[in-house]
């Protein structure tokens, strides 16, 4: 008998779902790492420390007042997190959220229209440019939205709600497709 449970990606088997007529693609992103950073530090200073600690491929997303998520596709290496914590000691607090949250990619020509059906955030590129993020609600779920490209977004949601958000997005996209016919 195993002593520890085995990690299973919450959206296993849902690598991607393309809703072609609706112009939307849903993608289960790798469950790499997600570190919540709380404290008075400028994003540029945080970025410099991330590179030194081995998080060079990670992105920084604003998550609230003096709060950021550091997200990336690579699994979290404890030594890197320890190095980052040591470098930022006394400046910020770090919390590993890697196993508690899931990222979903939403892309395609109708991705903005799909997301606009569920949130009040203005996703127009002139207001919400690439790299911009916002904590919001999609339906009844708390989600962070990040614009990752012209027609692409990344959603971060609590792990226990990931399947529900996936199903809601797929259903909304399918409904939009039927409405347009």
Would you state the pLDDT for residue 21?
A: 59
Domains and CATH numbers, the chain: 16-30+100-180 (3.30.1360.120), 33-96 (3.30.70.3400)
- Cα gap 147→105, rounded to integer Å: 10
| CB contact burial 44-56 (16+ within 10 A = b; e otherwise) | eebbebbeebebe
The total number of residues shown for the chain amounts to 181
Tell me what pLDDT residue 11 has: 75
pTM for the full model? 0.87
Burial of 37 (C-beta count, 10 Å sphere; 0-12/13-18/19+): buried
How far, in Å, CA of 67 to CA of 60, rounded?
A: 10
pLDDT at 39: 95
The pLDDT tens digits along the chain (181 residues) read 567 666 666 776 665 565 655 789 999 898 899 999 999 999 999 999 999 999 999 999 999 999 999 999 999 989 999 999 999 999 999 999 999 999 999 999 999 999 999 999 999 999 999 999 999 999 899 999 999 999 999 999 999 999 999 999 988 888 765 555 4
Whole-number pLDDT of residue 181: 45
Backbone angles phi, psi at 2, to 5 degrees: -75, 145
Per-residue pLDDT at 137: 95
Backbone angles phi, psi at 131, to 5 degrees: 90, -15
């Amino acid at each position: 008998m195993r002593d520890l449970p085995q990690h299973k990606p919450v959206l296993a088997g849902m690598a991607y779902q393309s809703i072609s007529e609706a112009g939307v693609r849903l993608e289960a992103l790798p469950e790499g790492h997600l570190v919540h950073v709380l404290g008075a530090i400028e994003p540029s200073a945080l970025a410099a420390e991330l590179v030194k600690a081995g998080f060079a491929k990670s992105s920084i997303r604003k998550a609230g007042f003096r709060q950021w998520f550091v997200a990336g596709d690579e699994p979290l290496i404890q030594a890197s997190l320890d190095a980052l914590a040591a470098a930022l000691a006394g400046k910020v607090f770090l919390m590993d959220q890697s196993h508690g949250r899931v990222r979903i990619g939403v892309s395609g020509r109708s991705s903005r229209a799909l997301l606009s059906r569920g949130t009040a955030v203005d996703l127009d590129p002139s207001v919400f440019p690439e790299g911009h993020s916002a904590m919001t609600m999609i339906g009844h779920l708390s989600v962070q939205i990040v614009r990752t490209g012209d027609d692409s977004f990344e959603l971060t949601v609590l792990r226990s709600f990931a399947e529900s958000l996936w199903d809601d997005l797929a259903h909304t996209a399918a409904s939009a497709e039927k409405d347009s016919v």
